[in-house]
Amino acid sequence: MAKAGPGAKANAPRGKRATSYDVARLAAVSQSAVSRAFTPDAYISPSMRKKVLAAARQLGYQPNAIARGLTTSRSRVVALFMPNIGNPIYPFVLQTFSHRLRSHGRQILLLPLVENANEALACMLQYQIDGLVITAASPLALSKAIARKCLAAGIPVVLFNRYFADLKVASVNCDNARGGALAAEILHGAGHQRFAFIGGPEETSTHIDRYRGFADRLRAFGAAAPLIETGPYTYDGGHGAGMRLFARRDRPDAIFCANDVLAIGALDAARVGHGLQVPRDVSIIGFDGAPMAAWAGNDLTTIALRLVAMVESTVEVLLRAIDGQRAGSEPIRIPGDLVIRKSARMPGGSLPAAST
């Protein structure tokens, strides 16, 4: 098999691991007993279990999850489709998923950047994945196709901070519309007049809901409709949108951005690109609670996701679905938290200390 070159050892020494039979022999019990000793809630006496575990420890025995998977047709592995890991909140999301799933005895298989849904499905089927978490809806068609195929194959799916308007899939979200409304309240309350929204890909639910919450609340205040610029959810997207907005004669004095990376791009477009002072000349509010929003050079007012709560809720919904309970497809919404920094004027408040 291993077409190794000359001098190669045919197979690395893998030290012949102990099996349940080895443990059974040493403990002088049946192999079934060994299996039961490692199965929580199995019918086995405490003394038997103790004896088996002692022998297992002696041999360094670990049950083979592959063999178990073959008989149970459950791998105890959850797949994560996270092509948006470039958004700086996602490394933390990934870590948190990994940690929480582990505490439930689950491992994470990271789905690669597939070209089409069939590749993703093939991977999930081959490895008998128990469930899937999707954290990106972009490109929308791909994420949706993956979700659809998995569901059809009986693999539970939960969406993290996004949902599909026309496909019933369980999801856990930030209350994005509420966050957008909050941004409108602050910016309008601080006396701003010319509003703008910098968004991401227009078909994503985060873009839609954050915009809708913002625009609806502005309308309720009787304010003019916000200007809109969109781009990819990246620094360059925000920077480009900011440059275009600030070049206008009627340049906005208050910008709400669909996420923090966009907002930091817009901040730099204001300060570095156009020599504006923030928030004297323009207030900027982001969304997400990315680590760099807190950096002194940005000092970005933002609406932070409750990431830990969102991950925990996602894991809960997913594990319940894996256990066979139907998951509701109505999006679960968890509020976001306003984090006040120096990039936006606040209602009633004096202008915060300068922070060019």
Partner DNA sequence: CTGAAAGCGCTTACAG
Q: Which residues, other chains included, contact 159 with Cβ-Cβ below 8 Å and sequence gap of 6+? A: 133, 134, 135, 137, 147, 169, 170, 171, 172
> Which has the closest alpha carbon to 196: 137, 252, 261, 121?
252
- Cα 181 to chain centroid distance, Å, stands at 23
CB of residue 145 vs a copy of itself: minimum separation in angstroms?
Answer: 15
- Determine the Cα–Cα distance for residues 322 and 75; give it in Å rounded to an integer: 11
Q: In whole angstroms, give the CA distance from residue 176 to residue 288.
A: 10
Of 39, 116, 118, 193, the one binding DNA by CB under 7 A: 39
**Contacts of a copy of itself in 311-340 (CB under 8 A):** 321-326
Shortest CB 15 distance to DNA, Å? 11
By CB under 7 A, residue 32 contacts DNA: yes
CA distance 347 to 350: 8
Could you say whether residue 76 binds DNA (CB under 7 A)?
no
Site stretch for a copy of itself (CB under 8 A), options 12-20, 47-55, 175-183, 184-192:
12-20
The backbone region for 177, taken as left when phi is positive above 0, alpha when psi lies in -120 to 50, beta otherwise, is: alpha
Q: Which is nearer to a copy of itself, 179 or 238 (CB)?
A: 238
Asked if 8 touches a copy of itself (CB under 8 A), the answer is yes
- Asked whether 204 and 229 are in contact (CB, 8 A), the reply is no
Q: Does 47 bind DNA (CB under 7 A)?
A: yes
Task: Provide the 3-class DSSP secondary structure of residue 95.
Answer: helix
Window 164-183: contact mask with a copy of itself (x via CB under 8 A)? --------------------
Does 29 bind DNA (CB under 7 A)? Our answer is: yes
The option from a copy of itself, DNA, none interacting with 38 (CB < 5 to 8 A, set by class) reads DNA
Torsion angles phi and psi, residue 173, rounded to 5: -130, 160
Is residue 30 involved in binding DNA (CB under 7 A)?
Answer: yes
Site of interaction with DNA (CB under 7 A)? 1, 17, 19-21, 29-33, 35-36, 38-39, 43-45, 47-48, 61, 63-64, 67-68, 70-73
